Structure 1
Amino acid sequence: MSLADQPYAHLLRPHTGPLRRDERYDTVHFDGLELADGQAGGALFLECAFTDVSLTELKLRQARFTEVWLERCRLLACELVESEWQDASVLDGVLAGVSAYGAQLRRVTVRGCKLEAVNLRGAVLRDVVFEDCRLHDVDFGGARLTGVSFPGSALEEVRFGGATLTGTDLRGATRLELPDGHEGLRGALVSAAQLIELAPQFARALGVEVRD
């Protein structure tokens, strides 16, 4: 699927200028822009597309993203605290140093992305797919994950401490490296091979010493 396949693609109009707080952006195309150090908290992005956009240190607290397309975008040190995402696609991008605790994501696809030091503590994720991604130092502490999957994704230094997992499928993950918070995996679905891989981590978490 591409941007051209989206039902609103023919309605998109180009955007220029900075983002503004509490603004409504409807069928707007943000293309090839560098947006930095702005205040756009509470903004609504409805049927919008972001392509080849760099967003640096933007304040997007409580912003809402509904039916949006983000492709080849870089989100660096952005604040997405308590933001809401629904029916969104995030493709071939980078999210680094992003604060998104308390965010709500529903029917979101994240594909071919690199997530580095992303804070999703206390977030609510429902029907979210992380496909062919690398998640490094991503914190799901205290989050609620329902129907979330990670096909083809590597999870490195990912934390689930205090999380609630329902119907969360980790079987497709290519790597599971969890420094702590193993109890948060309760309710997750893993493969037999992954269970063997996780066994030493579970043993350390439980204080069990294994000797031959």
Structure 2
Amino acid sequence: MSFVGAKLDGRCLAGVSFTECTFQDVSVDGADQRSAGFVDVAIERLNAPVFSAEYVEFRNCKLGYVNLRGAELQDVLFTGCILDELDLGGAAAHRLAFADSRVRRLDLTAAKLKHVDLRGLEFQELAGLEGLRGAAMTPFQIGELAALFAAHFDIVEKT
């Protein structure tokens, strides 16, 4: 099935399963999506300012700009995902994790993280270094950020 320009705002989609569907320019603002399933689905330009669902897992997705600025996230997992940009600026994230995922640019400006696991996330750029507070990272990831930490704290290397 293909859904183009559909307005599903406020609808009850609880328990509905979508398989091998496409969604383009669809709005699901305030829709109840608890226990809904999306398998082998292509989504392009989804409008969901209020997205309510229980435990959410994104699996094997290719995502462009993911705007979660100011969002409240709880129990979210990204597995095997490739994201161009993930904007978590000002977001409050609790139990957010990544497994075998990559993001080109991660923005954590003013983010509030609790039980956030970034160990399974490879990222190329990071904005909002202070937003890392509360995140779990590997020693390798921390080492890769050494130059950013030094610049943030005005640490000067002297020989």
Verify same fold: TM over 0.5. yes
The percentage of counterpart residues that share the same residue type is 29
Is 2:96 the counterpart of 1:128? no
1:108 matched to 2:48? The reply is no
- Of structures 1 and 2, the one scoring higher in RCO (CA 8 A, sep 6+) is 2
Equivalents in 2 of 1:113, 1:194: separation in Å? Answer: 23
**Partner SS, residue 65 of structure 1:** coil
Partner secondary structure for residue 46 of structure 1: coil
Shift of 1:211: 6.1
Change (3 A) 1:193 1:45: same
1:188 aligns with 2:135: yes
Structure 2: distance between partners of 1:165 and 1:197:
20
Partner AA of 1:41 in structure 2:
D
Name the amino acid aligned to 2:86. Answer: V
1:76 corresponds to: 44
> 2: CA distance between counterparts of 1:137 and 1:211?
35
Given the superposition, is the C-alpha separation of residues 211 and 155 from structure 1 closer, same or farther in structure 2, using an over 3 Å criterion? farther
CA distance, structure 2, for counterparts of residue 114 and residue 209 of structure 1: 39
Tell me, yes or no, if the aligned pair for 1:150 and 1:172 is still in contact at 8 Å.
yes
Q: TM-score, normalised by structure 1?
A: 0.70
Which runs of no fewer than 5 residues in structure 1 stay unpaired? 1-32, 87-106
Q: CA–CA distance in 2 between the matches of 1:72 and 1:55?
A: 11
Corresponding letter in the other structure for 2:90? G
Unaligned runs of 5+ in 2: none
Cα separation, partners in 2 of 1:39 and 1:211, compared to 1, 3 Å: farther
Distance 2:42 2:149 in 1: 35
**Aligned counterpart for 1:119 among listed residues 56, 67, 70:** 67
TM-score (norm 2): 0.91
Q: Give the drift of 1:179.
A: 3.4
**Within the alignment, does 1:143 sit opposite 2:91 as a pair?**
yes
Compute the displacement of 1:83 (Å): 1.6
Provide runs of 4+ in structure 1 moved above 3 Å.
204-212
Higher strand residue share: 2
Equivalent pair of 1:53/1:73 in contact (CA under 8 Å): yes
Pairwise CA RMSD of aligned residues?
1.6
Alpha-carbon spacing, 1:201–1:63, altered in 2? closer, same or farther (3 Å): same
